[in-house]
Structure 1
Amino acid sequence: MKQKTANIFSLSLRLPVWICIAFIGCFNTACHKIEAGNIIINADITKNPVYKKLDKERDYPEVGYYAWPKTSDVSYFNDRFQKLTDTINARNYNCKSFVIDSVLKINIGISDGEEWSGFTINCRNHLFDVKPYFGTDNIVLGKPEPTFDVIEQSLALNKSNYSIGDSIYGKVKFKIIEKGADAKVTHIAEGYFRSKVTKAP
């Protein structure tokens, strides 16, 4: 059987998928079109010293998941429940990457089994978009979907296409404003990440 390959220069857009709680509970995320950015290819990104630092750390523990070494050095902030200046939990996010119908999805997030939050990077046709998400197992029907305004965003990856089993290295930076019916949330992230590309769960 031919192995699926995600070529980020010829991908079709799909909705973001949360890796640990697929199709379960309430998934509060944006389905509206989000402004896309150009992907930068930088093969030398794998040489960044940050990855040697991550070799000495473990991923943040999640339900049914505990990895070594650490996959993400991304600092991610949002003011949904805390101040943007709160750095205590900023690096407590893990990175996982998937090929879904030939689409590359990079998920940087965390889950405790009842709540999950983070962001998904969708790559296709020279472009990428970032979709922050927050969800709980408390289902709320009929809640309007938020919209997102991109203030700035950039993404660099170590190569242009990935197959299942490949290692992906990258750096992301963004500032996005989420506008919902009952709140406005600022999302800010910057840092390096890595993971093995796998099939979707």
Structure 2
Amino acid sequence: MSHDVVRRVVAEALGTALLVCAVVGSGIAAQRLSPDDVGLQLLQNSIATGAALVALILAFQPVSASFNPVVTAVEAVLGRLPVSVAAVMVAAQLAGGLLGAVVANVMFELDPVSISTHARGGSGQLVGEVVATLGLVLVVFGALRSPRVDTVAFAVGGWITAAYWFTSSTSFANPAVTVARTLSDTFAGIAPGSAPAFVLMQVVGGALALGVLRLLHPRPATTQET
């Protein structure tokens, strides 16, 4: 494995771990600070997650800042990454996400692993995951074609913060984060039985976004656009 690939893998693992820490940790804090107001809990959780995403993407983007297996898979299909590198990055994202959930639990003096009992599902929420992931992928790769690549961080943070509210699923939109959230029986958790359907819908959303991207941007991105 080349030094460049190692750097990418470390960046993806650490970035995803910190992202999950933000998602789960802010959910726990919100639950404790506003125990009787679910709407306020969601507001606190969404603001913290969106802000963390902006900061993490800005910090890790010079190396690698996908933090999401769907985004990485689309990069590979579009020819921006070798498939072998993408596979290692996805493994790093999954491992980092699990570590992030454990660390978040420990920070708040909970058991390192507490399997979530928060069942999520139904046709509405599954459609919400398709919409959330479709929009996320379009935002990422559309912003990458902007003359200012640093807009990606703000575009992604803004999309996720908004999608927490306008999608019925509260916008998981990330298989690594979804799997990690099964390890925390808190506000941000998802029951293991609910996770596979969410992940499947995220893959569907990513595939639909790929089709839209090829329609909107038929030519490969130039060096300046990446």
TM-score by length of 2: 0.29
Higher strand proportion: 1
> What is the TM-score with the length of structure 1 in the denominator?
0.32
Pick the structure with more helix per residue.
2
